[in-house]
Amino acid sequence: MPRPSTPLLSPGRIRSVALAIIDRDGLDGLSMRKLAAELGVQAASLYGHVRTKDQLLNDIASSILSTVDVSGFTVDWREGLIRCARSYRAALSSHPNIVPFLAYGPAGREESLQRLDLLHGALVDAGWSRREATMIAAGLMYIVFGSALSSFSSGFSSDPADYTDRYPHLDRAHLLPGVARELDRDSFELALAAFVRGL
CB 71 within 8 A of CB 119: no
Q: What is the mean pLDDT of residues 53-64?
A: 91
Q: Which residue has the higher pLDDT, 153 or 35?
A: 35
pLDDT confidence of residue 7 = 58
Q: Which residue has the higher pLDDT, 6 or 124?
A: 124
**Longest CA pairwise span in the chain (Å):** 72
* pLDDT over threshold 90, residue 107: no
* pLDDT over threshold 60, residue 193: yes
pLDDT in tens, 92-101: 988 989 998 8
pLDDT confidence of residue 1 = 47
pLDDT in tens, 1-11: 455 555 568 88
Q: Which residues contact 128 (CB under 8 A, 6 or more apart)?
A: 136
Q: Considering the chain, what percentage of its residues have pLDDT values greater than 90?
A: 64
Q: What is the mean pLDDT of residues 6-32?
A: 89
Q: What is the mean pLDDT of residues 49-70?
A: 91
Of residues 96, 100, 89, 88, the one with CA closest to residue 23: 96
**Burial group, residue 187, by CB count within 10 angstroms (0-12, 13-18, 19+):** middle
Question: How high is the mean pLDDT of the chain?
Answer: 90
Task: For 11-61, give the CATH class.
Answer: mainly alpha
* pLDDT over threshold 50, residue 197: yes
CA distance 141 to 88: 9
Q: Is 21 helix (H, G, I), strand (E, B) or coil?
A: helix
Looking at the chain, which residues constitute the CATH 1.10.10.60 domain(s)?
Answer: 11-61
CB 34 within 8 A of CB 2: no
Q: What is the mean pLDDT of residues 38-49?
A: 86
Single-letter amino acid code for the residue at 151: S
CATH number corresponding to 68-198: 1.10.357.10
CB 112 within 8 A of CB 104: no
Looking at the chain, which residues constitute the CATH 1.10.357.10 domain(s)?
Answer: 68-198
pTM, two decimal places? 0.83
pLDDT in tens, 137-159: 999 999 999 898 878 888 899 99
